[in-house]
Structure 1
């Protein structure tokens, strides 16, 4: 800014000096010209008066012509030179009839002109007057030309110019310093708080407007950044942003949790320093070529899927977005779905095959009359088993559908547990299992149907998988304001490796024992779905040959 002000001041000063010098030299030359012309006019009046009275041979004219500083020429009407005080022999002088000053004098009675010499060192001024007898009296005088005058005053003008430039730079320095200090003193946060110079008012207003505009834009950018951060940080999916050089620019928390790392230390590093697996590199390289690519990878008991997408701007790749999905649960669910489909087919096929076989034997009269009741009873049992299985499948499917509403009512869980225990008492007696119920009266707002499924399957499971002469303890209590149901048996126990799977559909630890005890294999799966429906969780504690305790927190 300072350099620009100095430069502008210099050019202003130089231009001013040149203009002033030109005007001065021109005015000076004009003044000299006017003075010369006026002097010659006065001298011409005096000499012409002598000539009119006494003639050119008069001693007075000769004396006056000899003393004057002007060159005096007497010219005939035809232009022939009759007399010249600077030339002795005028016969050799050229005719002056065409001279500008003579032509003007012939028309107007007087005329003047000036001519610059070929050397451009001097200028000659001419004045002519027409006499009454037709002759012309011409006076001339030499002086400096404009160029010569300029050269003559050039040293003085140069000195003045240098002085003016020096003064100009001093003034520019002080003015610039004051202006810069004033501008530096402006509070950019509140430019209009203090008006430094009235001349800077427009600048301060503009700064204020720009400041508000920038603040608004910055606020909008912060809001957009906050929204983007809020979205990306609350995503369940992992998100990685790379630049065109494969360097990590951003990594959300879900991605850090998925890879169990601190993402901050990887910012600025290449993606290979974070994950150098072949699937990841395939996704990155494909995206850098402008393609959308996906790949899967196993990660420490997890399975993830990568989606790579290029970031394009003006058809040029500026970076890459990589979406990382944890598909472990999806894969597990898909596996369970396939297993469920296979198990359903198997479980349905078994009773249907039995029913079909018994019916076919009876239809073809291959059963003795005395054995028909026994075969009919078997068909009935298999039909009931089939019906129970279908009902349990329907229950699980309905519980999977979170939108199904089961209704609510206040239920005394202790009393409800007693009702279920009473219904299952015949089963317990047939297996020599003692059921003991204890606890507190706990009211819970829930569906009676779902609570029946919960208690019935838990208690039935504890009876079926108990030892002969075993015990089953059912306890209802309240912990931290929430119902807690415990069912503990003295049964065969569940191996540690199967404890996380006993709530899966159709899962059986001991298939031979399950076949003996009956059941659909969906009881504990129904329990799990009911507990999840009410937002609770289940704990299991089991030791082989000692027993199992299942604790439900609603």
Structure 2
């Protein structure tokens, strides 16, 4: 800005200087010409008076003297031969003098850069006395004064440059000192600028506050996301990442190309090419879902957003669902095949009369097994739905256990297993039918997988502010490597033994879901050959 002001002021000074010089020269030259004509007029008056006593050729003057007759004939010239000169009647100054008594004119010669001044005076006898004087033209006068003029102009230009610099600094110094934090009105002319600066400062302040608020919200949202969040530009540089996504990247990595996970790199590259993609990434026992989408601005891809979600539980549920479907199909097919086979033999009369009762008993047994399996599947389905529509009430556990053991007395007597109940009365808020199924399955398994002459002990007791039910048996126990899976659907430690005793493989799975419905914890302790103890602990009501 200072340079522009200096140039503008310097150019203005040069323009003013040139205009002043031209005006001064013109005025000075005009004044000089006027004085020359006055001098010629005075000299002509003096010479006209002298001619009464002196002949024209005796007159002495620094100017050229010419005497012209009334008809324009040159009578005398102090420089040239009068007889050789043209008639001067048409000369401007001569014609004016004959008419009005005096006349003057000037003639410029471009060849010699000179100007001739002529003054004519009509004498008493009618003749005209003309004086002429050579005067340098303005150009010649300036040319003769070139040295002083150049020196003067150079000095004035230096002075103008210095003054321009100083004046520019004086103008710009207060402007440069304007604070953007608190702009003041330095000059009245700058008031619109300072007012706009204040308005823009207020606007920018509001925008910065809004941006900071949104950044805090964005950071709070992304940092507390369980999902990984990555924002990358077109060159793959990571612009933003949260803690969850940082676990997928090396600490020093600033580009998606340095990610060790090939699936993540490929997903990001596909999104940067403008295509949305989803991939699954397996990391040990965890399964991550990668979703990458392009970021568009004015229809152009400017980056990509990559989200990673832990879908281990979902994948496990899907796996269990597939296994459950396969197991259900198998478990339903087995009794149906037996029933169909027995019925077909009997319908075709291929069963001897003495075997009909045996075949009928087999059909009844398979139907009971099928019914039990269907009921267990229904119970599991209801529990999977969160017990929707079930009636919740206060349930007293000791009397509930008494009712369960009474319903299993015949089975226990057949297995020669003793049943014992001890403890105190404890009440929980729950679904009576679900709690009954839970205790029934625990006790039924304890009887089925017991040894002849063994026992099943059920104990109801308090624990802190909650309560628990313990079912202990003296049965065959569960091998250590199977204990973590016995609550899975259709999982059996010994499939042949389970089928022999009529188990469906869903009893402990129902126990697990029933406990989860009531917020209870299950603890399993078992030693092969020494029995099993399963404890269900209910939280504080």
Q: Distance in 2 between matches of 1:396 and 1:328?
A: 22
Q: CA offset at residue 8 of structure 1? A: 1.6
Indicate the residue corresponding to 2:149 in structure 1: 153
Whether the 8 Å contact between 2:96 and 2:103 is mirrored in structure 1 is yes
Which of 354, 366, 377 aligns to 1:393? It is 377
Indicate the residue corresponding to 1:543 in structure 2: 527
The change in CA–CA distance for 1:312 and 1:40 in structure 2 (over 3 A counts) is same
Q: CA offset at residue 197 of structure 1? A: 5.3
Deviations 1:482-539 (A, max 9, x none): 5554444443333343333222221112212212332322222223333444555544
Q: What's the RMSD between the two structures over aligned residues?
A: 4.1
Does residue 33 of structure 2 align to residue 36 of structure 1? Answer: yes
Name the SS for the 1:162 alignment partner.
helix
Q: Distance in 1 between matches of 2:474 and 2:369?
A: 27
Does residue 126 of structure 2 align to residue 142 of structure 1? Answer: no
Aligned residues: 531
Indicate the residue corresponding to 1:441 in structure 2: 426
Q: CA offset at residue 275 of structure 1? A: 0.6
The change in CA–CA distance for 1:144 and 1:544 in structure 2 (over 3 A counts) is farther
Whether the 8 Å contact between 2:475 and 2:529 is mirrored in structure 1 is yes
Runs of at least 5 residues in structure 1 that lack an aligned partner in the other structure: none
Deviations 1:161-192 (A, max 9, x none): 31232233234334433443x32xx252xx25
Indicate the residue corresponding to 2:164 in structure 1: 168
Which of 67, 81, 89 aligns to 2:81? It is 89
Which of 108, 130, 150 aligns to 1:115? It is 108
Q: Distance in 1 between matches of 2:14 and 2:66?
A: 42
Indicate the residue corresponding to 1:17 in structure 2: 14
Name the SS for the 1:551 alignment partner.
strand
Q: Distance in 2 between matches of 1:553 and 1:303?
A: 32
Name the SS for the 2:251 alignment partner.
helix
Does residue 391 of structure 2 align to residue 407 of structure 1? Answer: yes
Name the SS for the 1:265 alignment partner.
coil
Q: Distance in 1 between matches of 2:374 and 2:245?
A: 42
Indicate the residue corresponding to 1:528 in structure 2: 512
Name the SS for the 2:383 alignment partner.
helix
Q: CA offset at residue 344 of structure 1? A: 0.9
Does residue 324 of structure 2 align to residue 332 of structure 1? Answer: no
Does residue 296 of structure 2 align to residue 271 of structure 1? Answer: no
Q: CA offset at residue 337 of structure 1? A: 1.9
Whether the 8 Å contact between 1:47 and 1:64 is mirrored in structure 2 is no
Does residue 244 of structure 2 align to residue 254 of structure 1? Answer: yes
The change in CA–CA distance for 1:168 and 1:372 in structure 2 (over 3 A counts) is same
Q: Distance in 1 between matches of 2:425 and 2:75?
A: 158
Whether the 8 Å contact between 2:256 and 2:265 is mirrored in structure 1 is no
Whether the 8 Å contact between 2:68 and 2:128 is mirrored in structure 1 is yes
Indicate the residue corresponding to 1:360 in structure 2: 344
Q: Distance in 1 between matches of 2:90 and 2:250?
A: 101
* Bigger mean CA deviation after superposition, 368-377 or 517-526: 368-377
Q: Distance in 2 between matches of 1:78 and 1:537?
A: 150
Deviations 1:356-379 (A, max 9, x none): 333334434455556555544443
Whether the 8 Å contact between 2:120 and 2:128 is mirrored in structure 1 is no
The change in CA–CA distance for 1:331 and 1:30 in structure 2 (over 3 A counts) is same
* Bigger mean CA deviation after superposition, 76-85 or 137-146: 76-85
Q: Give the alignment's TM-score, normalised by structure 1.
A: 0.79
Whether the 8 Å contact between 1:111 and 1:129 is mirrored in structure 2 is no
Q: Distance in 2 between matches of 1:485 and 1:103?
A: 151
Deviations 1:7-52 (A, max 9, x none): 422431342233234323422332331342255147427736975x
Does residue 489 of structure 2 align to residue 495 of structure 1? Answer: no
Deviations 1:291-335 (A, max 9, x none): 555554432233445455555667776444444444443433332
